[in-house]
Structure formats: structure tokens, C-alpha cells
Amino acid sequence: MGAGHAHRLYREGSSPVHRLPPHCKIAATFLFVLVVVSTPREAFAAFAGHAVLLGTVAVLARVPAGFLLKRLLIEVPFVGFAVLLPFVARGEQIEVLGLSLSVSGLWGAWNILVKGTLGVAASVLLASTTELRELLLGLQRLRMPPTLVQIASFMIRYMDVVSGEMRRMRIARESRGFETRGIRQWSVLAKSAGALFIRSYERGERVHLAMVSRGYAGTMPVIDAAVASRAQWARACALPAAALGVCLMGWLVP
């Protein structure tokens, strides 16, 4: 029942990016994506500029390109949608390799692909350099309402509990000769879904009560009360600032 201090995307490290305070990183990522989204879709060079900026951050953070590319796969469903657009969109058509494609559809597909990809890449960089606990702290320092922070931290704790209970249940099933195949599997799994919910809840409830028994009153005792220095804010905001420059060039130099 660990309190889940790491998560799937996180990569251990001590790069300058890892060391930035989490709230600075979250704010910087959000601003960067905002800038990317407002870049005009005709400004091809600007998107190249954004990509170079992100690449620089990735190098600073020592996040390998392969890792980043693999995580981009989360976008695949929307890539499918984008690929279809030129075929289904209406309006002016052009002929490419014998196919009749919609011009506005092509532009739409490009727009979704490039902005979506840059957005995902920025989020992946944030997630891979920031621990779970830090992300929560960051959101808290960015004035996310305490109720939401509380729900989010319980959610993260329970994800461990749920996966732990799922693992226990799987081992228990397999030890008693259950093979995970076929229709019967689904009926057993469906039946145990409700049991899983209650088990996880009650386990989590008991753990919560044990915490309360030892004086827990809603917030983890914070050991480090780190505040971001102006220099750290400046470093974090270098990314969106540079992107804003690129974006303005995109608007001015069509």
C-alpha cells in the first residue's frame, strides 16, 4: 500500500528540469500549449520552432527521444480521425495521387495532428520529470481548491489499492485452477468487479482510519515547504516565452 510516489510516465532523474518546482512546470506547460494552440495553422515554420523548443527541453531533462515518441501513441485515435477528415470534409477538392481530397479537410487534419502532437509531447515532458506527489503539491500551490486536491490524492492512493487488490484476486483465482480464457472468464470477472470495488473501498477505508488514528487531519505533514524563487519561475517561463516569440513570428510573417 505505498502512497504511490512514482507513476508510469515518471523517469527518475536530477536534471535541471526535474529540479524545477512543480507549480512552475505546470504553469509553463499550460502556457506553452496555449501558445501552440493559438499559432495559425499556415505557419509551418512556427510549428518547427515549437518542436525545436520542446526538443531542447527534452535534452535538458535527459528524456530519450524513443520514450517520448512511444508515449505519443496515446494520440493514435485522433490521428485516425485526422486521417479521415480529408475524405469526409466538404468544400473545395483537390486531386492527390488519384484520390479526391478536401482542401479544408487536409488543413483540418494537419491542424489537429500538429497541435495535438505538440500538446501531448509537452504533457509527456511534464509527467516524465515530475513525481506524482509533486504534481499534486504543484496543483495545490496553483490554488486548486483543497477539496479537489483531497479527492485527487485519495484517487492516487486508491489506484495502488485497487491494483493491489486486483493482483491479490488474480493470484487467488489462478491458485485455484482458474484459467483466464473464454466466456466464463467474463462472467467471473464481472461478478468480481463489484467485490473488487467494495474490497478496495473497505481496505482504503481501514487504511484511512489507521491514518486518522495516528493523528492524520486531512493533509500529509509537509516536510519541505519549498517556494519557487524568481529565478526558478524565470527558468520555467523561458519555454512559453520563447514559444510566444515563435508564435508572433508566425502571425506576422505568413
Whole-angstrom CA distances from 186 to 178, 181, 247 are 12, 8, 51
Q: CB of 245: closest distance to another protein in angstroms?
A: 19
Nearer to another protein, 48 or 195 (CB): 195
Q: Angle, nearest 10°, between helix axes 230-252 and 44-60? A: 160
Q: CB of 59: closest distance to another protein in angstroms?
A: 19
Q: CB of 246: closest distance to another protein in angstroms?
A: 16
Nearer to another protein, 143 or 230 (CB): 143
Q: CB of 20: closest distance to another protein in angstroms?
A: 15
Nearer to another protein, 6 or 229 (CB): 6
Mark out the alpha helices in the chain (DSSP H runs): 16-19, 22-37, 44-60, 65-71, 76-88, 103-129, 132-141, 146-175, 182-213, 230-252
Q: CB of 18: closest distance to another protein in angstroms?
A: 16
Nearer to another protein, 53 or 112 (CB): 112
CB 222 within 8 A of CB 176: no
Q: How far apart are the two ends of the chain, measured CA to CA in Å? A: 55
Nearer to another protein, 197 or 229 (CB): 197
d(CA 39, CA 253): 12
